[in-house]
């Protein structure tokens, strides 16, 4: 028994001495800064744009007791893809470091739009149009993309969505922090990516056909009262609430720490918005960590801003 206890203690000590290291990279504008901030909120020691020559001294310094997240891209001083690949190979043979590469990917047209919105110059094309630098960087980083342990495509993600995705993969206490995202959307623009459950609200009475309500949205009490007057509304919300209330503890027990629920209607302005607000409030009162999103409002820049370049 003493020998077994010694082995367990040795294993625990080794685990404590092992540094978890996340290398966060990807093209400029894909959301690296958002990811780094999200990892810092999850308890990581986060450092962005560290010169490559300082990385080895950093790893040789006394440990902070926290996992480490490093943001690496072409703006790092003395950055080179080969240097990063050499580090990855070195870490693979270093038992004291548990390293993985998080690559944030994004479509070129979306990156161009983000640069156009911020009016920033691309680091690889300071005197040219951003699309030239974007194309060069994507080509340059392709070997790192192929070595990624986790690849997240941020093309259709808001900063909130990206933070939630980071939490799904890197939250150290998922069972204690299970979060629920409830969002509304218009079927005209398609079902949002990443939803776990999708429910259709188009059977409820539509405020769009009421002249006094058409220009309002589902957050307005006049609109929600109109929808709630539909005799099917109360039973619908009761069944949905019971279903979600049953699923959340089951998903949490299975290790899932984020559930995304979508409600759709024709225009994404009235019915889906009102139902999203109602369910989110119910879940919050029940003690769940809830966030709300109304996609079609974001489209008109009335809510969440796009992911910033960085």
Q: Is residue 265 part of a domain?
A: yes
Question: pLDDT band at residue 9, thresholds of 50, 70 and 90?
Answer: very low
What span, in angstroms and rounded, lies between the C-alpha atoms of 60 and 267? 56
Averaged pLDDT, 238-259: 87
Residue 187 forms part of a structural domain: yes
Domain span including residue 65: 12-170
Nearest to 162 by CA among 38, 72, 40: 38
Domain end point (choices 119, 139, 170)? 170
Q: How far are the Cα atoms of 17, 159, 175 from residue 310, in angstroms, in the given order? A: 32, 12, 31
> What is the per-residue pLDDT across 32-62, written as a single tens digit (0 to 9) for each?
999 999 999 888 999 888 887 887 788 777 7
What is the number of structural domains in the chain?
2
Same domain, 100 and 124: yes
Residue 217, in any domain of the structure:
yes
Domain for residue 19, yes or no?
yes
CA distance 128 to 125: 5
Q: Which residue has the higher pLDDT, 208 or 126?
A: 208
Pair 146, 258 in one domain: no
**Is residue 306 in a domain?**
no
Do 31 and 160 fall within a single domain?
Answer: yes
Q: Where are the beta strands (DSSP E) in 227-276?
A: 258-265
Task: Give 70-83 pLDDT, tens digit per residue.
Answer: 988 877 667 788 88
Residues 162 and 199 in one domain: no
pTM above 0.75, yes or no: no
End-to-end CA distance of the chain: 54
Where a domain ends, among 126, 147, 170?
170
CATH code for the domain in which residue 125 is found: 3.40.50.300
Give me the sign of the Cα torsion angle 130, 300, 153, 171. Answer: positive
**CA-CA distance, 175 to 282, in Å (whole number)?**
20
* Beta bridge partner(s), residue 184: 263, 294
Q: What percent of the chain has pLDDT over 70?
A: 86
Alpha carbon distances (Å) from 91 to 18, 82, 87, 88: 11, 14, 6, 5
For strand 150-153 and strand 97-105, is the pairing parallel, antiparallel, or unpaired?
Answer: parallel
């Amino acid at each position: 028994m003493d020998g077994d206890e010694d082995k367990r203690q040795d294993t625990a000590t080794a685990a404590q001495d092992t540094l978890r290291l996340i290398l966060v990279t990807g093209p400029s504008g894909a959301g690296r800064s958002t990811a780094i901030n999200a990892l810092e909120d999850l308890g990581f020691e986060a450092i962005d744009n560290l010169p490559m020559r300082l990385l080895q001294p950093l790893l040789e310094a006394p440990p902070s007791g926290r996992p480490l997240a490093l943001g690496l891209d072409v703006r790092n001083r003395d950055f080179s893809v080969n240097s990063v690949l050499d580090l990855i190979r070195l870490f693979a043979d270093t038992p004291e470091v548990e390293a993985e590469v998080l690559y944030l990917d994004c479509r070129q047209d979306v990156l161009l739009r983000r640069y156009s919105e911020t009016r920033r110059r691309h680091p690889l094309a300071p005197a040219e149009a951003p699309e030239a630098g974007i194309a060069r960087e994507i080509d340059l980083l392709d070997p790192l993309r192929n070595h990624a342990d986790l690849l997240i495509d941020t093309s259709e993600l808001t900063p909130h969505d990206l933070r939630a995705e980071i939490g799904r993969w890197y939250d150290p206490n998922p069972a204690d922090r299970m979060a629920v995202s409830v969002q509304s959307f218009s079927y005209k623009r398609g079902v949002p990516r990443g939803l776990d459950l999708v429910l259709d609200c188009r059977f409820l009475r539509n405020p769009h056909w009421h002249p006094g309500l058409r220009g309002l949205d589902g957050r307005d009490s006049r609109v929600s009262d109109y929808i709630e007057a539909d005799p099917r509304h109360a039973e619908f919300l009761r069944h949905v609430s019971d279903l979600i209330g049953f699923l959340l503890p089951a998903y949490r027990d299975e290790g899932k720490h984020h559930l995304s629920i979508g409600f759709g209607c024709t225009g994404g302005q009235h019915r889906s918005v009102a139902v999203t607000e109602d369910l989110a409030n119910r879940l919050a009162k029940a003690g769940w960590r809830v966030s709300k999103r109304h996609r079609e409002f974001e489209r008109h820049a009335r809510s969440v801003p796009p992911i910033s370049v960085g």
